[in-house]
Structure 1
Amino acid sequence: MAKVLMLTLFFTALMSSRGQSCYVQSPFYVRVPLTIPAGYVAKVETSGCDPTSLWFSSKDPSFTVRSDGVIIALRSVTMETGERTFSVGVHDNNGPESEMEVHLVYKRTRKTNEKREAVLKRTKRHWRPAPFHILENGKPPFPIYIDQFVSDSSQNYSVFYTLRGPGIDEYPFDIFSFNSENGKLYLKQSVDREEYSEFHLTARVFDKLNQKERDNPAPITVIVDDENDNAPEFIGPLQFVVDEQNGPGTLVGQLKSTDRDDPNTDHSRVQYKLLSGLNYFAIHPKSGTITTVTNTLDRETTDKHFVIVEARDREGAANGLFTTCTVTINLRDVNDNPPTFLKTPYKATIAENVGEKLLLRIPVEDKDLINTPNWISKFIITKGNENGNFRIDRDPATNEGCLYVTKPLDYEISPIVRLEVLARNEAELNSTSAQWQTVPVNVTVTDVDEGPEFSAPTITFTIKENTPNGTLIGTYSAKDPETKKSDGITYYKSSDPGGWVNVDKNTGQLTVANTIDRESDLVRDGMYNITVRAVDATSKSGTGTVILKIIDENDNMPVFPPGLVLCQKTEDELGSVVVTAEDKDGSPNTFPFSFRLPPDNDGTWSLEPLNATSAKLKQVKPLSTGIYDVPITVRDQQGYGAEKITKVTICRCRSGVCLAQKRAVALGPMGALALFLPLLLLLLLCLFLIFICATKKQKAQIMEADDYKGTLLESNTEALGDNVDANFLSMGLDQGAKGSKVSIMNQGWAGNKSFSTIGGHSMHDFGYNQSGMTMTNIQDVYSRQFDHYGTQHVGSTLLGNGMDYRGQDSSLLHWQTVELMLQERMKYMGQKEREEEEVNDTLHCYGYEGAGSTAGSVGCHSDIGDRDNLEFLNTLGPKFKSLAEVCTKS
């Protein structure tokens, strides 16, 4: 057991008068051993305080103070730094608590001899003094003595001291002053510990005689002791959110604070306290954590609470400094209120056969937060909507339920429909025992006179294709929904695309009217639809759909292309081609197909099956290029098929297409036909134009000439021909004036170019007097056109197109106009003398160069006259082969 030592501490307690609190002198220093054993006791004696209500408290957990003032060490304490400081509170009923700072200072024990006499030993002054302490916020008068430092060298030398550092010759200046003779340090002004907690100075000692430094520099530390001069300050958020209806102990939030005072003292040890809101919240005194103390927090009653919190230092002591703040606690909404209906039951009325109509609006009330999942309603029809006649939606603007009729109601089936509607929220209910509510809705259906109704909206009959006409398919009848009878109802077809069905007007029987073809484009997936209408005596009608499911018959044999192309790579290499067949019938009357050659075939070809619809036709013997007829028999799965001839063309190919063959000099029948076709088309076009012109008011008979006598002439000779009569021009003019016919062998006007024969026609071929018009009349009619268009322009236009003169309706007038213009031109040329070069640039007549030629003209338009005899092409020289080809292709 540890030895108990007693130490008496005398506290000077001054009390001015009864009723005032005790005043304690502070700080107080006590010397203690280097190691304080557990159970070490210090007795506190007081005077001037009320002994009946006096009590003590220790702020150091290593020590406790009994009510009689005895301080006991609870555990062994080692004085590592040589000093330990703690506070002792003294309090009676006369006033607030007083506090004294107790400084425990290690005391050195003296050595003793055998007679227990103290052994005296000279102790050197120590040059490295302990830290000096000053109290912040010192009160005047200044300067205040702090302490003195002395060097051991002062015993042997006459010395002086110097002191440098912050507070003296460094910032902050003029905090301290010292006496260089004796080393005493003074405080010149008050110091704020929160600004300067320590000052580190350097002291030096010098010999006065020779200014020589007699000791090492010594560090001097001045510690500013804290005074509780700063109240706590709140930091961090002062606003929290918590769910409503939560139970006790739910965390709301945590407050934090700071205190500028020394954190190692009670001056900065803060305790928290609620000053309001104690019915709903609590706060932990040390951590500042706010929690709920009840489950009655209701957002619908109060959505936020304002709580006042106090933070006091000195661990909440009465003499501690404090500050307060207001904490805002918002309550988060939970779905603790279901939607409620404003009345019950709801009633509505609607006529039968009415659909897609708003029937009723159902309002609800919800106390939860608006426009949140806790408030947004959701309506469900829980009963009475088994047939899907109704739907209910939410109006987002009003949060009401909108009840619609989506499928018409039938009065004869249900004159009254009883529904049950449930209202709930998007979010589930929470923190409440309430349940979702329902409300009954009674819908009355009114009767309406309606048309007949078929036994079923859609009916299906099965029938084979190609069924004979008149065969009964079935009966599709209707009844009056009010009487449930079919009396007085007549039936009509509304839709029958193929006209395949007849409907009996009185009974609704369906019979075959025309051949039913499953392979028709009117059939989709083997189904054919018709629409039937039933009409009662009041002309009200109803419609129904009849679906004919058509069973397939094997009435289509497989078919394959009539012509195939077999590409020959080399003359010795045997080729092949794929034969693919098709069958419009369905399974099992279609593929797989069987391909066969005739039994008596000569072995030139063979067939090799490829798949269900194709076979490969292979060449067995070498064949030259050309067209060959190959008989092939294709049969379907049921053996239905026949032998057919396909033409196989063997040729040299490029990209699967036969290359063009070199044209021979001797054109065969196909060559003649190819040459004749363009000419035939041109002739038909001419006949068409003649027909149009002949149907107008003025008609002229046009003689079709079999021989146009067109010739191919050299056009590089501008001189007169060999057989030109100089009197021809004048003679033609005279005869034209008398109204006689003028024969012009060479037609066409080319300006300064020479004339050549085009088609071989003359004006005699058209007979310009057949309409009864004289030359004078024609001249009067067309002189204006001649003058307007000009000789050259009109002449080239009229003679070039042959049968189109702008503004005129008759081909006869056209040719008469041509003759008139030519006469005017020749008359002009005969009246005026010309220079030699001008005479050459005139109208000339040329000889017929085609006379005596077996081939006739070889112009592109000469084929019309010789279309019955094309053998002359074989007599032409090689130079004319390309020209013949050009004419034939065009």
Structure 2
Amino acid sequence: MHRWGKEHHIGLRDHRRPSTAAVQRVKRGWVWNQFFVLEEYMGSEPQYVGKLHSDLDRGDNLVKYTLSGEGVGSIFTIEPTTGDIHALRSLDREKKPYYSLRAQAVDVFTGRPLEPESTFIIKVQDINDNEPKFLEGPYAASVPEMSPVGTYVTRVTATDADDPTYGNSAQIVYSVLQGQPYFSVEPKTGVIRIALPNMDREIKEWYQVVIQAKDMGGQLGGLAGTSTINITLTDVNDNPPRFAKSVFHMRVPESAQTGSLVGRIKAYDLDTGTNAQVEYRIVPGDGSSMFNIYTDGDTQDGIVQIKEPLDYESRKLYSFKVLASDPHMDARFLQGGLHSDSALVKISVMDVEEAPIFSNSEYNMETREGAAGNTIGAVNAQDPDIGHSPIRYSIEWNPDSEKFFEVDPVKGTISTREALDRETTQRHNITVVATKVNNPQLFTRVSVLITVLDVNEFPPELSSPYEAFVCEVAKVGQVIQILSATDRDMPNLGHRFFFKSPRDLRNKNFTIRDYGNNTAGLLSRRAGFWQMEKSVFEVPVVVEDGGFPILSSTGTLSVRVCACDVTGSVLNCSTKDFLLPLGLSPGALLAILLCVIILLMIVVLSVSLKRHKKKEALMSSKEDARDNVIRYDDEGGGEEDTHAFDIGTLRHPEAVENTAVRRFDLSNDQDSEGVHAYLQRRLQENNRDATPYDTLATFAYEGEGSMAESLSSIESQCHDSDINTDLTLIGDMGPRFEALSLILTGRKSNEDEVRLPQIESGQP
């Protein structure tokens, strides 16, 4: 391969040779890998790049060279017969450093490739056509003042677009064009450092440095670029404060109040920021206790102010020494250990005629609410001047003070003009004015705060008209309602209420329990309430306060009896829900009830008269009414059991096979033995019945002398075995009362039992 690739050869097989030659295999191929073309070519003719040549080319123009790939036709061209490659225009390596192309040799006549297609590269050869450039700039940097030589400041960097791998076109060297002898730069790294010792910010704070970056290693003919670096010296605390003069003169009137400004002094510190802070203090000595000094944070001035009241008549001139120091002075820069300065301050007190001075800056007084004319307290003011002018007092006008208060003009005592009410206004704020008689233009005001103390004048009351409810199933000790109270009085220590029941009233239904926290509970004293018995209870509650004197009031708490569910939720609280299910009024319900009673009385009277006329027994054969009591405790035969018995047998006693006497008349002269025999006979008759049911038989006996019908009571009991029926018959409750009791057992048992009590005629 030739170094510059001006001419390269490819080996191709000659297809025109005899077949014997075709059998021989000769390894051939490209003998180059890249071409070079110079960038920024300025010639008038196309730039020659290189030549393609095959060893099969005999120079007889039978081989054709072709080129394909990047830029073919627009940038690169090839002579088909010679294989010469040219660049049609100037190239820039910085835009594209190389091009990849493909070359091939083909037969001119057949167009067949003589060799496989091969790839090669045309590389653009760099020239020094780019100067170094600083990507950032201008730069800004800072470094503390008084820094030693070699202190790092900052670093600058320049770049060169030329090829760093070819020649020294991209080799950069840095140098200082402007900024010497204060700063220097390292040629290869671009690091800027301090070059001069003891650079003082107070002398010069800002520097502008120009740095040059040159390629070709800084040699002659190299290209260069520059950048500016603005360097600021930062402050260090290397300067103590200094007074501009040694003595400061000030004047202040004697009437100036404590804390008033007297004047300013100034100590200058050449440093900045926190390094320029100055602390001022008064050196203990003559007059130092009368004044104070502090630092103004914005201006660093020393503010002199009055610490104690001044009096021209007592002292006219004060002088003291003030020390100004730097609290953060760097020990490296202390000159002989001194970091402060001092000055003398002289203050002259000026005489002025002063206004009266009150003994207090403000007054706080207390008085109880009540009648007018009460003395509350007094204010006192004096004339500070030597003449001691008399003082007169007055109240500065406002609707509140003029209405309620007045002041004695000579003594300064304050009293009430009208009665005060703490519940209306708890505090009054008035202003009292003290004026000099000799000079009325001199006066002083003072604020007087008057607090009205409470007098217990209103009794406490229940907070609201409570309407509580209690369930019918309420238990003993159940809380019905929580009570609280209010009071129009406002004691200083707050309200304290006590709850209880009246002493002369013993309530058996409810009681009051005081919880000790200004609340109480209404509790039930018994279990069970009934709306029908009483629907509303009125419970008196006594509430007492903790004032002096103790006041109390009695409130009434309405408690309604309500029907509740198992959870205690109210279902209803009105007896009308029970009495008026159809929406009838109480008057209508009462009228209906009276009509029913009258009808019943008429029916009872008519039946009684009818029986009295006939003098028959209570039950005749026509009146014999029998009821069937049917109960199944287990599964029976269904309809077969029902059809097994004809109820008509009960309706027609004559249908019974045994036509025994069904009626037994008891006359007035029959004794108890006859009654007992009658019952035995009737019981045997019933036992012969074949009915599948337990039958309830009714036996009655009516005496004489009663105007009302007989009354009867029937009770039924079910035993664990077969069905049993208990029957109790009670005769007429007249003068001759007869009572019969019969127990008839079920017919399914073989052991029927009849229990007949011993009955004696005429016994209850």
TM-score if structure 2 supplies the norm length?
A: 0.49
TM-score normalised by L of structure 1:
0.43
